[in-house]
Structure 1
């Protein structure tokens, strides 16, 4: 498939809860609507994205739905069910045009600043406003600043190395040294445990890379979204067999902007990827989160399809 031209991607994402007993009421937020606009097009290596169509279907019908944007520019839907219900289904359907990377040459030919100079340039100076990108420089709920993460950077980040090349090498090393193992972690697994076991899933790999980059003073953000997966040769694509995905976006200076890296798949995201939201870590951009009163134990099922 040609990833050098714009592609139309269609995504369906259904989350369903079946309750043991009727839930009396619930309040939920969901972050499922793909981003678009100028923030998506910054940087030589950053793809652009245009939302062509979006539908959010909630069953049973909610008592209230409100839409807002959070501080990172993500679209957030809030809804309430103020009556008893046995189940909850949230179906998100998107049609998105994804543009290719604007820079397709060898990374070694890209004149990016050194990571050390970039890090130093972002230090706070009295009397000057902090750059907007600096908010992604600090530790967050799932990504603490740790010496172990700083030490892990030392093989790839020497003082004069260009930031894009150094980050690319880090992405490759995480992919090489960590094993993807579904179910090996939960969202609350500490990052040091992931570092010790060298096992996890995409959100763990993203958190590790974020932690290493922030530990040396760089600004990096967590990206949630989807990736098109191709079935084995001769096999049909299975409906609902895809999944949400997570990767990393690194600020590489004003001339280049944000550059995306996918340590799970060892590649720069291209037109196979659809960006939903950005934040400091997973806690800022969960697909769905809320509070349910009653209902007992809930059986959760998730089905995602990307075309």
Structure 2
């Protein structure tokens, strides 16, 4: 019957409603953590609500995220400065992040897409990063969205290249977390080329990269960092964030490795177990379709382990590929169970 909404879209909307409520409700319930407070005070520094005891120069370079502070400052100017407003931009980015599997609908199918969205909606790691003031979730959304748009089809369109550039530029202006994610993506690409004949970016034309993606990314990063030219100091913040990430290799001031490694199995046991099973299957020749998330998961986890100035929020880069892998195991388990029950 014409005009009827397919059941799959209704279920997707339901998952979105659940995940969105988790991310957007009671944002101001907990006080801001010290790192959150520093970026929130920096956002408020350019408004009438600026604290006389705080200057943007006091924010450490590793927390600089102009793609977060500039729009948050605009929100604070109109809605007031409180923890809920300080966390609103990352929360909205988190809602979009959990919808990214929809872009892979043709590859994954509805069952896998819905299960991936469900896992992302209830993921403790994704929830925590989404509800934390800062640029980590914006960086994860920007880089992941750009990568999906460039590899999901046989030949990305100019529109996909433009949107990928905008997304990539937003990630670049989101602080040091972006560079950790990019490092993990680069490791994943090297693994993919070493163990697979296919090149995931071979279908992306050089002209699309040079004429659409790269210029759009740089322009978007410039616009967000300077907030349409009204805050030129934001460009220095973006450059300082990149420099801070590079300097992070020379100091071990981040989260200790052992507690960091145990955070993932404690908070994400379902994704870890199911994702590991699918990863083992994906390495053999039978599992070619699972190799991209396998290598991305391994590359992102390796980046977390190798980078001395790591933080727990950097595990957000492992969540997306791990969720997609876990869905493969869950789906096959359900199919085997149903086939056994069928006469």
Q: Shorter-chain TM-score: which interval?
A: under 0.3
Relative contact order higher in (CA < 8 Å, ≥ 6 apart): 1
Q: Counting strand residues as a fraction of each chain, which structure ranks higher?
A: 1
